[in-house]
């Protein structure tokens, strides 16, 4: 485990509780972080330099939860040392660094997985099934809010900090990249680092997604709404009932006599499916272990991470021009 800070400790807890793993070492430059990790995993040794892990052939898997600017170097070094790697989001802060990681992964025989956690959320798995089955009809648009009064970062703005979650969900649900992106934001607390970003994505089929990303917001909101032709769905990750499927919309009757009958309102039932309560971080780790055991390709593989970093980079360019749309191609 490299990086045992605020988030890394969650990995320490999850890895330490997974029967198929043995947490061999916790590496962090900060002795206090190591001590907190050691409390959760008393059997692990404490190290201060990732090189010590790379030099130990008995260590098979490296989890990287250090700050984003360090991901590229640590991940490439771990792959070169023949380790399987789970690296936290954002994979990198530029497509150049992300491509360098992709090149290292291509040279390696090991599994590289990116910690796009939301893809492993049971609600997202159900939402994907619903979309693929056609039960929701055609997707018109997505609206998403990821906001709270939360941790302010210095290495990255709200786009790079929160955007990977929303973009990985969209990539997984829609199974395609946007063709253009528009972003506008505001730097309130630190010069040059946007605390709030509003992002609009357009897709080749005409679908749109609007994302509100902010760590300067009165309360925690994690809501993804899909408006489709047959049903509308709301995924609210802070609510006890995570998924609500609304039988709402407008129908076009095959025959009508007056203009008022051309579209008829459907305001039907709301269905709340039962979802398994599995922790996404545990599911993510189990998926990594399965891929290592079977030689399978992770769902959150380098190809999907490259698409997400490319979208983030395009959004950053749009942000710099105060919202000029940036094309991503198809």
Contact region with ligand NAD (CB under 6 A), list: 60-68, 141-149, 174-182, 220-228: 60-68
Which CB, 52 or 321, lies closer to ligand NAD?
52
| Paired tokens of 192 | 């040059």
Contact region with ligand NAD (CB under 6 A), list: 2-10, 95-103, 202-210, 319-327: 2-10
Binding marks (x or -) toward ligand NAD, 7..46, rule CB under 6 A? Answer: xx------------------xxxx--x-------------
Shortest-Cβ-distance residue relative to ligand NAD: 5
Applying CB under 6 A, which of residues 83, 84, 89, 287 lies at the interface with ligand NAD? 89
Which CB, 77 or 181, lies closer to ligand NAD?
77
CB 65 within 8 A of CB 285: no
Task: Please state the closest distance from residue 231 (CB atom) to ligand NAD, in A.
Answer: 28
Contact region with ligand NAD (CB under 6 A), list: 1-9, 37-45, 75-83, 216-224: 1-9
114 touching ligand NAD, by CB under 6 A = no
Which CB, 238 or 263, lies closer to ligand NAD?
238
Binding marks (x or -) toward ligand NAD, 270..309, rule CB under 6 A? Answer: ----------------------------------------
157 touching ligand NAD, by CB under 6 A = no
Residues in CB range of 79: below 8 A, 6 or more apart: 85, 101, 104, 105, 107, 108, 110, 112
Q: What is the DSSP string of 207-222?
A: -EEEEEEESS-SS-EE
SS3 assignment for 113-165: EEECHHHHCHHHHHHHHHHHHCCCCCEEEEEEEEECCCCCCCCCCHHHHHHHH
How far apart CA 234 and CA 62 sit, in angstroms, is: 35
Among 82, 92, 76, 7, which residue's Cα sits nearest to residue 316?
Answer: 92
In this structure, the dihedral spanned by the alpha carbons of residues 181, 152, 98 and 33, taken in order and rounded to 10 degrees, is: -160
Report helix, strand or coil for 7.
coil
70 touching ligand NAD, by CB under 6 A = yes
1 touching ligand NAD, by CB under 6 A = no
150 touching ligand NAD, by CB under 6 A = no
Contact region with ligand NAD (CB under 6 A), list: 4-12, 175-183, 239-247, 310-318: 4-12
Task: Please state the closest distance from residue 166 (CB atom) to ligand NAD, in A.
Answer: 12
How far apart CA 75 and CA 83 sit, in angstroms, is: 9
Contact region with ligand NAD (CB under 6 A), list: 63-71, 175-183, 233-241, 250-258: 63-71
67 touching ligand NAD, by CB under 6 A = yes
Which CB, 4 or 199, lies closer to ligand NAD?
4
How far apart CA 23 and CA 255 sit, in angstroms, is: 66
Torsion region of 274: left, alpha or beta (phi above 0 gives left; psi -120 to 50 gives alpha): beta
Helical axes 95-107 vs 302-320, angle rounded to 10°:
170
166 touching ligand NAD, by CB under 6 A = no
Applying CB under 6 A, which of residues 12, 26, 66, 86 lies at the interface with ligand NAD? 66
CB 87 within 8 A of CB 66: no
Report helix, strand or coil for 240.
coil
| Paired tokens of 240 | 């006890």
- Binding positions for ligand NAD, rule: CB under 6 A: 2-8, 27-30, 33, 50, 65-68, 70, 88-89, 115, 117, 161
């Amino acid at each position: 485990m490299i990086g045992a800070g605020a988030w890394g400790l969650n990995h320490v807890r999850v890895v330490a509780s997974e029967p198929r793993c043995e947490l061999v070492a916790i590496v962090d430059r900060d002795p206090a972080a190591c001590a907190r990790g050691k409390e959760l995993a008393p059997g692990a040794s404490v190290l201060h330099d990732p090189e010590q892990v790379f030099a130990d052939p008995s260590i098979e898997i490296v989890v990287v939860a250090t700050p984003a600017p360090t991901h590229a170097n640590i991940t490439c070094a771990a792959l070169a040392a023949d380790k399987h790697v789970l690296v936290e989001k954002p994979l990198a802060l530029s497509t150049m660094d992300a491509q360098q990681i992709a090149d290292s992964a291509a040279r390696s025989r090991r599994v590289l997985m990116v910690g796009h956690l939301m893809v492993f959320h049971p609600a997202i798995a159900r939402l994907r099934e619903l979309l693929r089955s056609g039960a929701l009809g055609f997707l018109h648009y997505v609206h998403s809010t990821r906001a709270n009064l939360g941790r302010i970062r210095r290495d990255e703005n709200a786009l790079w900090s929160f955007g990977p979650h929303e973009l990985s969900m969209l990539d997984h649900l829609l199974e395609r990249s946007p063709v253009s992106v528009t972003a506008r934001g505001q730097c309130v607390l630190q010069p040059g680092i946007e605390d709030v970003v509003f992002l609009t994505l357009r897709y080749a089929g005409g679908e749109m997604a609007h994302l509100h990303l902010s760590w300067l917001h009165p309360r925690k909101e994690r809501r993804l709404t899909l408006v489709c032709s047959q049903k509308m769905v709301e995924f609210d990750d802070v609510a006890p009932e995570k998924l609500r499927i609304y039988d709402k919309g407008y129908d076009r009757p095959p025959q009508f006599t007056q203009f008022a009958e051309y579209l008829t309102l459907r305001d039907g039932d709301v269905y709340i499916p039962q979802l398994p309560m599995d922790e996404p971080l545990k599911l993510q780790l189990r998926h990594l272990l399965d891929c290592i055991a079977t030689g399978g390709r992770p769902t959150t593989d380098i190809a999907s991470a490259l698409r997400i970093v490319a979208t983030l980079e395009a959004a950053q360019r749009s942000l710099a021009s105060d919202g000029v749309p940036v094309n991503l191609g198809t």
